[in-house]
Amino acid sequence: FDPRRYDFARVGRYKINKKLGWKSRLFGQVLAQPIVDGETGEIILDAGIFVGEDQIKLVEESGVFAGEGFAEFYIQSPDGVVSKVICNNSNLPVEFRTVTREDMIANISYLLNLMDDIGRTDDIDHLGNRRLRCVGELLQNQFRIGLTRMERVVRERMTIQDMDTITPQALINIRPVVAAIKEFFGSSQLSQFMDQTNPLGELTHKRRLSALGPGGLSRERAGFEVRDVHHSHYGRMCPIETPEGPNIGLINSLSNYAKVNEFGFIEAPYRKVEKIYGKGKDKDKIVKVRVSDEVVYMTADEEEGLTVAQANAALDSENCFAAEHVACRRGHDVLEVTPDKVDYMDVSPKEVVSIGTAMIPFLENDDANRALMGANMQRQAVPLLRAQAPLVGTGMEYTAATDSGVCVLAKASGKVVRCWGNEIHVLRDSDNKVDVYKLNKFLR
């Protein structure tokens, strides 16, 4: 378990804690034996109780599984079979990057419990099990390769040369590090010339997600399942914008409001649904369901099992659901539920698609194949000499143009007092100072 021999990074520890930790193993199960505090003998959860979010909070606050070592408990399956579950205590910090004995035993316990239908096998195409490696991480890996080569050269030279007369300059040769980084930028499959036909092409290229490249798939080996649209792509990866031909489904685009978290998993935003309980004897009864303006970003595996309403579900003046039944999705199922069963609501109808697709007016009336062609062909349009607003648009044009980085944006409102090929001078309205904007068009 030497950290120099292998390292499953912060994300590996995060995933192991999540999968083999006691919270995920206990949630949604029925206890066969009570959970007891070893020190005080107090019963925290009784046998026969179904474990939901409130019960998990209760166990967490009691600190029964807070120490080091294992978390053990007995649960009962629907057909009455009692199984012992051994978990790692999931208290290790994400900086702990090697496997522990507890992880190994918890792993074997998980596999044995699977025979009794406790736990679930992972779906390889689910976005909870696929992560992005951004440019920083790829560059870090190349840097590590270069430093390892340099270390080997230094060790060899230390054995050959005389230790009394040796200098650091004679020992260290930085060429392997430079070569590794130049190789990455010069010949990596993911180092590409930017698509600069128009501002949209530029922006889309920067938001592209690829399953190809080093450590990824090859076109020949990628099957149908990898390329297909998965329910976890909702709000994270665009189901429309992808190339036609051999790369279909392997190269995708990030959705409008999606963002990448510190572990490389894509998160989508949702509005929280508040449930207001009654008072007195109605304290366990939900009297009002209100959609709040609080936005929560969730990864695909956090969203799994939650009931999410559509963004265009009808709301009344108090932000409560107007209809008696609301169309929702839970996992890959689409269902109609009463408002008190809804957990979250989409932020916007366009959170499903990417920027390129969101520029197609009346997208919902188009066939998916034609929308794909339209989204891809917009990137190939040659810009006008004098830019004009479209007669029919979706409202995303301004955002895409300003965020692409092509436009020079004024820092403050004012009057253009001077302009020529290299720069523009703007006299500010607020304090009569001149802002100078440099133009870098037609420069090499």
In the prediction, which pLDDT does 425 show?
95
Domain 135-260, CATH: 3.90.1100.10
Residues 433, 419: Cα–Cα separation, whole Å: 16
Query: Per DSSP, what are the bridge partners of residue 156?
Result: none
234: alpha, beta or left, given left = phi > 0 and alpha = psi -120 to 50? Answer: beta
Cβ count near 23 (within 10 Å): 17
Tell me the one-letter amino acid at 172. Answer: I
In the chain the first and final C-alpha atoms are separated, in Å, by 51
Low-confidence ranges of the chain (pLDDT < 70): 1, 442-444
How far is it, in rounded angstroms, from Cα 190 to Cα 179?
A: 17
Residue extent(s) of CATH 2.30.150.10 domains in the chain: 266-347
Report pLDDT for 250: 95
Which tens digits make up the pLDDT trace of 292-339?
Answer: 999 999 999 999 989 999 999 999 999 999 999 999 999 999 999 999
d(CA 252, CA 240): 9
pTM > 0.75: yes
Q: Where are the alpha helices (DSSP H) in 115-233?
A: 135-160, 168-171, 175-187, 199-206, 224-227
Beta-bridge mates of residue 296: 270
Would strands 344-346 and 414-419 be described as parallel, antiparallel, or unpaired? unpaired
The per-residue pLDDT for 443 is 65
Measure the CA–CA gap between 56 and 52, rounded to whole angstroms: 6
- Helix, strand, coil share of the chain (percent; to 5): 30, 20, 50
Closest CA to 292 of 272, 276, 316: 272
Instruction: Encode 398-415 in three state secondary structure.
Output: HHHHHHCCCCCCCCCCEE
Helix (H) or strand (E) holding 335: strand 333-337
Q: From residue 297, how far is each of 265, 269, 300, 303 by CA, in Å?
A: 11, 4, 10, 10
Residue 251, token pair as written in the block = 């190269």
**pLDDT score at 94:** 83
Location of each CATH 3.90.1100.10 domain in the chain: 135-260
Q: How far apart are CA 396 and CA 248, in angstroms?
A: 25
CATH 2.30.150.10 fits 266-347, yes or no: yes
- Taking the C-alpha atoms of residue 340 and residue 403, their distance in angstroms, rounded to an integer, is 39
> Would you state the pLDDT for residue 38?
76
pLDDT of amino acid 1: 65
pLDDT of residue 356: 95
Q: Which residues are CB-contacts of 410 (< 8 A; sequence separation ≥ 6)? A: 426, 435, 437
Residue 342 burial by Cβ neighbours in a 10 Å radius (0-12, 13-18, 19+): buried
* 188 Rama sector, left if φ>0, alpha if ψ -120 to 50, beta otherwise: beta
